Structure 1
Amino acid sequence: MTESFPSREWGSRTSPLGRFANWFAATDGGSRAIRALIPLDRSLLERTRGRFTVLGPIGVPIMLLTTTGRKSGVARTSPLLYVHGGDVLYVIGSNFGQAHHPAWTVNLRADPKATVVLAGETLPVEATEITDADHKDEIFRQFAEVTDAYTAYKDRTSRDLRIFALRRS
């Protein structure tokens, strides 16, 4: 059996702040606001080695994923919400419902080796894209349980949202 990933969640999705943030994140303005916070969140996550995130008080699990740029070969780091499955982490390329796939999904397709920073640990991982429709639907439901915003993101775009399983390598 593969070793489990650490877990670091704080705050509450059911608190008044968490419920408001869940609603707000699903709106176009909320998506723009969260995208604007990404550089700040990346910086905070890097400085605290994945222990604290700007969105932490609202109870969403965030980690840093570092991939290798498929054209540049340069390390690219993205703060991402994830679903924790014990010995697997799932990430979804929603890109806030925009028309194009996020770059990190293209990078993982080209080179599935990456690292995650989570709960104070930096861990090497290998990504596998989930292609089975039933499995994707099951994982998507887990993301929608974390925040309804994912349903809004899925409804905003005609593209198929890419989902990856990350396992320690």
Structure 2
Amino acid sequence: MSETPELSPTDWVREQTEKVLEAGTTDAVELMGMKIVLFTTTGAKSGKKRYTPLMRVEENGKYAMVASRGGAPKHPLWYFNVKANPQVDVQDGDTVKTMTARELPMGAERDHWWELAVAAYPPYAEYQEKTTRVIPVFVLE
């Protein structure tokens, strides 16, 4: 298993991650004027650590990971990593902590976190309209 996380092959994701790593804080990056959180997941098949920058959705020390993939028909690859390995490192600002992710089933708790996610990043609502799949939401505690 690799201990040094791998950067994304997707240019814009890699560039955002590199900015965070160089600065030592997620405060170095904003997307559309909104804050991000840098998650480090473990590959479901490879066991390799991988960085995943996502929009910051936080409440009372808990975080959400929204598997939107921009409203694409399939889940992002990191979704399968988190399902297989729910221990995730979460960097918010310059603080890093290990948390446990759980996927939220349909219901009041997911509805609450979805509302928080859309408030933090309104395009999530558009992404849901674009796809026939229900966009998964994980909460990390």
Counterpart Cα distance in 1 of 2:54 and 2:32:
16
Counterpart Cα distance in 2 of 1:100 and 1:124:
27
Q: TM-score, normalised by structure 1?
A: 0.72
Residue 68 (structure 1) aligns with: 42
Residue 40 (structure 1) aligns with: 15
Q: TM-score, normalised by structure 2?
A: 0.85
Give the paired residue count. Answer: 132
Amino acid at match of 1:143: A
After the TM superposition, which segments of 4 or more aligned residues of structure 1 sit over 3 Å from their partners? none
Counterpart Cα distance in 1 of 2:63 and 2:36:
11
CA contact (8 A) 2:90 2:96 kept: yes
Gapped regions of structure 2 (runs ≥ 5): 1-9
CA contact (8 A) 2:104 2:110 kept: yes
Counterpart Cα distance in 1 of 2:69 and 2:28:
18
Cα deviation for residue 82 of structure 1 reads: 2.5
**Structure 1 or 2: more strand by fraction:** 2
Identity %: 24
1:42-121 equivalent positions in 2, closer than 5 A = 42-55=17-30, 58=33, 60-121=34-95
Larger CA Rg, structure 1 vs 2:
1
Counterpart Cα distance in 2 of 1:68 and 1:127:
12
RMSD over equivalenced CA pairs, Å: 1.7
